[in-house]
Amino acid sequence: MPSATRRLLAVTATILATLVAGTAAAFPTTAQPPAATSHGRTTLWTATWSASPQRPSAGFAPNWSEQGFARQTVRQIVRISAGGKAARVRLSNVYGTTPLTIARATIARTSRGAAVEPGSLRHLTVHGKRTFTIPARAELASDPMSLRLAALDSFTITLFVNQPTGPATYHAQALATTYRATGDHTADTGGTAFTDTSQSWYYLSGVDVISAAPRNGVVAFGDSLTDGATSATDANNRYPDELAERLASAGRPRPVLNQGIAGNRVTVDSAWFGDSATSRFRRDVLGQPGVRTVLILEGVNDLGISELAASPPAPIFAPYPDVSIDKLISGHRELIRLAHTHGLRVIGATLPPTKGSAYNTARSEAKREALNTWIRGSGEYDAVVDLDRVMASPSDSDRLNPAYDSGDHLHPNDAGYRAMAYAINPADLG
């Protein structure tokens, strides 16, 4: 073995040994996970994939969050945005009321469906143990793994729980297939045992890497327009995914984290659509390691859901407060203040057109235009992405471009999400 290779392996082993001793522990979700040191230099974790945790609920589609799991294996696939020389997985029990014990867990390179690449499987451990417990209302990071990751790689994370978990912390709208099997199948390379499927993620909140790049992560923070509603399942066509692809194809890969929650509001907490943006910002943005910039696209649900009060389409939309434009702007100002206080660059996105959707009334449209005018002209954001103009129909500026419309006149199709990503000036990301 060449001496240079031996030196590189020795340094990597030293870093990993130091990290194993110091990072695999439960930590509050509002705090940055700790750094580690090696040879007098600080080694920082950088988040490369994330999903915002939500309370167990019925959600938009059938899922397993309310019933939880017992003697079952859950296999989930994520695509990272930037690579690194070592990785760890973060698991969340923040909405659990009792400790969560993971009996076994693995990570492997994704093959097809529920199958993984033979020879790539690694066991996840915490403090060197394959069975570990996450306290109630806490998040936990695994031990580091010497698994080299590249930008846009897909990985499969498999969890086995033996004892009943009770309701599970989850992310409702994954737009990715999750697989379930009876018994312990964490070490399976094939997918035949995984006969049940869901469209949500369970317990997963992040994948972090050790990267040579400086702190340059981007958090896309918002609602269903960030979460990727109506985009193709298992295709990674949400706008944050498209932005990550765009940066990687230009030779400048960097972490792009999706912290969108479908239905989320700036000012209103919801059992179904997550804590308000102002409530969850500390956990979902400030709690992510390696972040430099946050891009905020929020407010359409504050304006639109209040218009549904007279004839609610489903219980999940409650409550229905009438959110004034002053209150909504105040909420945006609070997000800007939190970002700037913690040294983050903050970009504001105007709300795209909604004409023809269930959200659109004369009153909601007047508020949307007022908010967009403030985002463009107040100077309070460090930069602005004018999605209102980018996504508008050439013949009607209040309506989504038909080429970008999924059909509900509110959410984009895959082409629309790609247009959103290409509306962002990479120079504005800092």
Token couple for 104: 């076994």
**How far, in Å, CA of 161 to CA of 53, rounded?**
19
* Mean pLDDT calculated for residue range 87-108: 97
Q: Which of 41-45, 167-171, 330-334 has the lowest mean pLDDT?
A: 41-45
* Mean pLDDT calculated for residue range 2-10: 38
Cβ contact 178:41 at 8 Å? no
* Mean pLDDT calculated for residue range 240-244: 98
Instruction: Give the tens place of pLDDT for each residue, 287-345.
Output: 999 999 999 999 999 999 999 988 888 888 889 999 999 999 999 999 999 999 999 99
pLDDT at 19 over 70: no
Residue 8 makes CB contacts below 8 A (sequence gap 6+) with none
More confident residue, 25 or 97: 97
- Where along the chain do its domains lie? 3-205, 213-429
Query: Looking at residue 5, what is its pLDDT?
Result: 37
Q: What is the overall mean pLDDT for the chain?
A: 91
Burial 334-366 (b: 16+ CB within 10 A, else e): bbbebbeeeebbbbbbbbbbbbbbebbeeebbe
Share of the chain above pLDDT 90, in %: 83
> Three-state SS string across 141-164, please?
ECCCECCCECCCCEEEEEEEECCC
pLDDT at 242 over 80: yes
Q: Residues 213-429: name the CATH superfamily.
A: SGNH hydrolase (3.40.50.1110)
